[in-house]
Structure 1
Amino acid sequence: MKYLAAECYLPHAAPMVMLEQVLEVEEHAARCQVRVSKEGVLAPFLDEQGRLPSWFALELMAQTIGVWSGWHASQGGSAPRLGMLLGGRGLKCSLPTFPADALLTVSASMLLQDEKLASFECTISMNQRGNPESKSVAQAGLNTYQPDAEELQTLFLKKPRQETPLQGSAT
């Protein structure tokens, strides 16, 4: 199956889209890729040597879950919806940084889901140019929440504060 670019399935705009290519979306899983490159979407986040700090693994995993959710929404004719990362457990990264020019493949597999909550097991594997072998470099469990439109409005709509006079103050 042919997929659109990852940004088409995410409710983000540049520079916050950190995935380039959607490889696969299934009923309970997704796989995406991104290259650690000064010419790619990760450029704003790279260090002086062109490396990506490993703590970005969590966001890459969360965005892969977002791609999964956005693709499924698009199949029903809906736009991608904002999701929230409630937490992660067991995040392990075998590298302090992802090296320049590495190709990262991010996988997310749903373990369970109810109406708004879901739990995913995620991994990142890495290939470097000239080396066809992929090695696992990060894994974590992520818990997510998909708020409905009313909850999003409550969260992001700022209501003006009502001023109340202080009791017992002199006027």
Structure 2
Amino acid sequence: MHIPAPEEIRSARRRIGMTQAELAKRAGISQSMIARIERGSVDPRVSTLRLIIDVLTTAELPVIIAANLMHAPVESVSPDDSILSAVEKMDKMAFSQLPVLKEGVPVGCISEAAILSAIGEQRNQKGYHPKVRDYMEASFPTVPPEIEIETVVGILEQHHAVLVMKEGRVEGVITKHDLISLIIG
């Protein structure tokens, strides 16, 4: 662990716009201790420095919101599209599911599982040309663009994708794959 000099602590605190009192409260120590550490008049314990560093590091991390991570434009299909066109789009884009949008508003989603079901039924019915609406599933959850990514992570634990909506229209999409960029990026 790098042991910061008193002026490094003061500089980091000021850079993020935090007062000594705020730093002290978040670190669970007194404001007078922060002042003495920054003046260099006390040699703090390593555990105290670790608390201060953790608070400053966390405060410096940028807040990531859905709008920062979403992909746009959103590839989608219409409920009136044929299953065949959905398959072609999914194959071309290498997607396992697509949102179903009607005039920019989500009405469902179509997945590989739903398409396999359609293929099975189509074999038994000559002249049957299924539409996306016949096999679409419930829509992906929606979030506003300004929601913090931690909330989106929680939603993606239960769903394949999240649609980002603004003023009633889909603006973007976030998938589980997109979260990987947060880890490796």
Q: Provide TM-score, normalisation by structure 1.
A: 0.24
More helix by share: 2
Q: Provide TM-score, normalisation by structure 2.
A: 0.23
More strand by share: 1
Larger Rg: 2
